[in-house]
């Protein structure tokens, strides 16, 4: 218990201490008009209060990543908690802050524009393709996971409230399949509506309700961990020392480097956030709110990730049982089992609904961001509903086609695309600071780290080149060295810096 509380306190301290340092390095300009006012269009550029934006930002960025990722990461042991804390403070929150603030400084620009401006045109073209691919993958995988959880709830309620009753016979299994189809259709319909209408009409109004469910889920799972008599770290052994945070406890003997840093993305660092932060940058009323909105929302997601990591480390009797639960039903089974087991049927269902809103509130803005990305690329005005439909309908048709691909394959590609996007955004932020003669190492060091992670993973993983592990590590180091040399060789700091740039 002490380790968990200590980790949460570190995250909170990171916001007040390191977050303030990052803000000072960036140098905010409270007198400068934000895009919400200078470019207001009544659809995507709309001023909103910082509290509402913080909640929307948190719900946007916190899909199933800070839940599924930490549950999978728990197989490695307490080292997963270490990565969540350090990654969130020094990489993820920094990534989100600079993405949001640079977007504000550039008229609400998206990540491809920012990459092109500070890293060059080739980076812009690369990010246009990568960001669109990532958004499609996010939209698709964030349909499947909430639909699965909602199917579990509906099936159990239709079967006399008996947990697991839906799996008793073939008839129940067929019924579950029909329910899954219905929920998938409902979620897709919601996504279409949320993508097309002005951001304050649906997202701005119903997200507070979703936020209440999220708060219940967070507090409920914390209550279960603290007061249901479940020993902390029971899954890996309750006698945890400081060195256990550096020990790989995965019984499958999969290497921590680089797999842990791909497995736990949201909650530590996630490139998906780079596609979402510009949405809120277009609604922010003042630059001084940036640390609370962007850095603060990432810290909030880190706390959620820590809670679910502790669930993975504590709910089951041993790692073998946790692994079996994941294999038999993906991490969604762990979510359902632990919520029902610790909070009872009614409380567990409310907690699961709190989990459900996370991927739904990320999936809707993923498709919205994809629409805006395409519109920005073609300079296609989006104030007219018909023009929004011209982009949205083909986009959803492609998304539906992608949804037919095996989920496990989609998730692996999502993981790599996600962290590669984060890597590019960190290099973009580092370039901005370097060009403007500011202390760039706060972004350059995590950019170097994530480059090594992504390059090594691509060289080692089956979805990449499948090289021998030792060779893959050397390949990752070599690619990172090339990236660092190119960064300092090709970029030249500016002699004069514009205040608004």
**Quick one: tokens of 437?**
């003669």
Pairs from 480-484 (Cβ < 8 Å, separation ≥ 24): 480/448, 480/451, 480/452, 480/455, 483/427, 483/448, 483/451, 484/448
Confidence of residue 166 (pLDDT cuts 50, 70, 90): very low
First to last CA, the chain: 46
**Quick one: tokens of 49?**
């209060």
The Cα–Cα gap between 31 and 37 comes to 12
C-alpha 148, offset from chain centre? 19
Element housing 187 (H / E): helix 170-196
pLDDT at 402: 76
pLDDT at 464: 86
Which of 289, 273, 230, 293 has its CA nearest to residue 429?
273
The stretch 34-39 carries a mean pLDDT of 94
pLDDT at 174: 56
Q: What is the chain's mean pLDDT, rounded?
A: 85
- DSSP string for residues in 208-236: HHHHHHHHHHHHHHHHHHHHS-PPTTTTT
pLDDT at 440: 97
More confident residue, 138 or 406: 138
**Quick one: tokens of 413?**
């590609």
330-365 pLDDT per residue, tens: 687 888 889 888 888 888 888 888 778 777 777 777
**Quick one: tokens of 469?**
């592990």
pLDDT at 414: 81
The Cα–Cα gap between 418 and 412 comes to 10
83-114 pLDDT per residue, tens: 999 999 999 999 999 999 999 999 999 899 99
Confidence of residue 161 (pLDDT cuts 50, 70, 90): very low
pLDDT at 143: 78
441-492 pLDDT per residue, tens: 999 999 999 999 999 999 998 888 999 999 999 999 999 999 999 999 999 8
pLDDT at 44: 81
Query: Does residue 171 surpass a pLDDT of 60?
Result: no
pLDDT at 86: 97
SS (H, E, C) 416-445: HHHHHHHHHHHHHHHHHHHHCCCCCHHHHH
Q: Which of 16-30, 144-158, 170-184, 249-263 ranks highest by mean pLDDT?
A: 16-30
Dmax over CA atoms of the chain, in Å, equals 73
Q: Average the pLDDT over each of 55-59, 69-73, 258-262, 406-410 and give the range with the smallest value.
A: 406-410
Confidence of residue 34 (pLDDT cuts 50, 70, 90): very high
Query: Does residue 126 surpass a pLDDT of 60?
Result: yes
Which of 466, 453, 455 has its CA nearest to residue 256?
453
**Quick one: tokens of 443?**
């972004």
More confident residue, 52 or 379: 52
**Quick one: tokens of 356?**
């459900």
Decide: helix, strand or coil at residue 274: helix
Entry pTM: 0.86
**Quick one: tokens of 289?**
């709110």
Task: Report in angstroms the alpha-carbon separations of 159 from 325, 343, 345.
Answer: 22, 19, 13
The Cα–Cα gap between 369 and 136 comes to 10
The Cα–Cα gap between 268 and 61 comes to 12
More confident residue, 216 or 301: 301
Asked if 62 and 273 count as a contact pair (C-beta separation under 8 A), the reply is no
Report domain 2-414's class: mainly alpha
**Quick one: tokens of 286?**
């003042």
């Amino acid at each position: 218990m002490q380790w968990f509380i200590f980790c949460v306190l570190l995250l909170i301290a990171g916001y007040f201490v390191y977050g303030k340092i990052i803000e000072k390095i960036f140098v905010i300009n409270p007198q400068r008009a934000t895009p919400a006012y200078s470019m207001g269009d009544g659809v995507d550029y709309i001023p909103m209060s910082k509290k509402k934006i913080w909640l929307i930002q948190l719900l946007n960025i916190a899909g199933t990543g800070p839940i599924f990722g930490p549950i999978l990461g728990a197989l490695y042991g307490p080292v997963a908690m270490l990565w969540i804390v350090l990654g969130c403070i020094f990489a993820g929150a920094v990534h989100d802050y600079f993405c949001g603030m640079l977007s504000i400084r550039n008229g609400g620009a998206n990540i491809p524009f920012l990459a092109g401006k500070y890293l060059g045109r080739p980076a812009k073209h690369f990010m246009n393709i990568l960001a669109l691919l990532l958004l499609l993958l996010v939209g698709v995988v964030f349909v499947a996971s909430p639909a699965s959880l909602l199917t579990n709830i509906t099936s159990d309620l239709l079967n006399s409230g008996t947990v697991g009753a839906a799996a008793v016979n073939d008839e129940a299994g067929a019924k579950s399949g029909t329910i899954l189809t219905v929920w998938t259709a409902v979620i897709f319909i919601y996504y279409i509506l949320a993508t097309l209408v002005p951001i304050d009409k649906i997202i701005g109004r119903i997200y507070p309700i979703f936020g209440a469910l999220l708060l219940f889920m967070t507090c409920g799972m914390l209550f279960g961990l603290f007061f249901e008599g479940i020993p902390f770290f029971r899954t890996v052994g309750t006698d945890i020392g400081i060195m256990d945070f550096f020990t790989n406890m995965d019984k499958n003997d999969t290497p921590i480097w680089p797999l842990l840093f791909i497995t736990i993305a949201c909650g530590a660092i996630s490139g998906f956030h780079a596609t979402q932060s510009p949405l809120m940058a277009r609604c922010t009323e003042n630059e001084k709110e940036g640390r609370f909105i962007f850095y603060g929302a990432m810290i909030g997601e880190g706390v959620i990730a820590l809670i679910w990591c502790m669930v993975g480390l504590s709910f089951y009797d041993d790692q073998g049982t946790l692994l079996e639960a994941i294999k038999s039903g993906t991490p969604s089974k762990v979510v359902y089992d632990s919520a029902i087991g610790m909070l009872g049927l009614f409380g567990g269902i409310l907690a699961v609904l709190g989990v459900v809103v996370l991927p739904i509130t990320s999936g809707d803005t993923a498709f919205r961001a994809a629409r805006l990305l395409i519109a920005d690329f073609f300079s296609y005005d989006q104030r007219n509903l018909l023009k929004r439909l011209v982009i949205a309908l083909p986009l959803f048709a492609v998304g539906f086609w992608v949804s037919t691909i095996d989920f496990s394959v989609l998730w692996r590609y999502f993981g790599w695309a996600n962290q590669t996007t984060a890597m590019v955004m960190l290099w973009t932020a580092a370039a901005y600071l370097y060009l403007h003669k500011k202390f760039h190492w706060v972004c350059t060091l995590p950019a170097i780290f994530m480059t090594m992670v992504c390059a090594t993973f691509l060289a080692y993983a089956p979805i990449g080149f499948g090289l021998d592990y030792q060779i893959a590590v050397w390949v990752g180091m070599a690619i990172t060295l090339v990236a660092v040399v190119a960064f300092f060789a090709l970029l030249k700091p500016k002699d004069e810096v514009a205040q608004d740039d």
